[in-house]
Amino acid sequence: MFQQKIILASRSPRRVELLAQLGVQCDILPADIDESSLPGEDPAQYVCRLAQEKALAIAAEHGDRGLAILAADTTVALGQDILGKPVDAADALAMLSRLSGSVHLVHTAVAVYQAGEVRCLLNTTEVEMMQVPQTVLEDYIASGEPMDKAGAYGIQGRAGAWIVRIAGSYSGVMGLPLHETAQLLHAW
């Protein structure tokens, strides 16, 4: 396992928990960047760019601490449509209604900055969600659970019961693919 402490450029408790599974301790310093997509940017390019920008933003302020900086970004993609975090309950319902009964992709990019260099790896997982009744979606939204999650759902929460199958990384759908993360950290 990775023995050195790192800086995590995220406030996600899920990412902290997943890093702990690798034995990684971290200082939490969330990056505050513009997360708007660029014209014509596909979902995979989008998450890779954001993960790298988050790592570089924290490096600009804290790169002199000598710690690796890890950043990640996750998005749900339905075709070329990027479904990020919902802005409100209506947005969450619109996203979940589109995802209900679908097969969609979850892209998570992980970037590590150290010694003036940033490296990034992408994980893509195919997710099949059952058709979920409108009333169940509304109850889920009322719980508040989907409001800070890409695509308005968390596989590790109540919405996990709706997932028929995944082809890829469960931890990637949670927001930090452990395989790619370990590969990047060990490379340093």
Q: Could you tell me the CA-to-CA distances from 90 to 87, 141, 185 in Å, in that order?
A: 8, 9, 39
DSSP structure string for 104-155? EEEEEEEEEEETTEEEEEEEEEEEEE----HHHHHHHHHTTGGGGSGGG--T
Catalytic residue numbers read 73
Q: Is 23 exposed, middle or buried (0-12, 13-18, 19+ CB in 10 A)?
A: exposed
Q: Give CA–CA dist 88/36, Å, rounded.
A: 17
Q: Give CA–CA dist 162/132, Å, rounded.
A: 7
| Pairing of the two strands 68-78 and 26-28 | unpaired
Task: Decide: 74 and 66 in contact? Cβ < 8 Å.
Answer: no
Task: Decide: 75 and 124 in contact? Cβ < 8 Å.
Answer: no
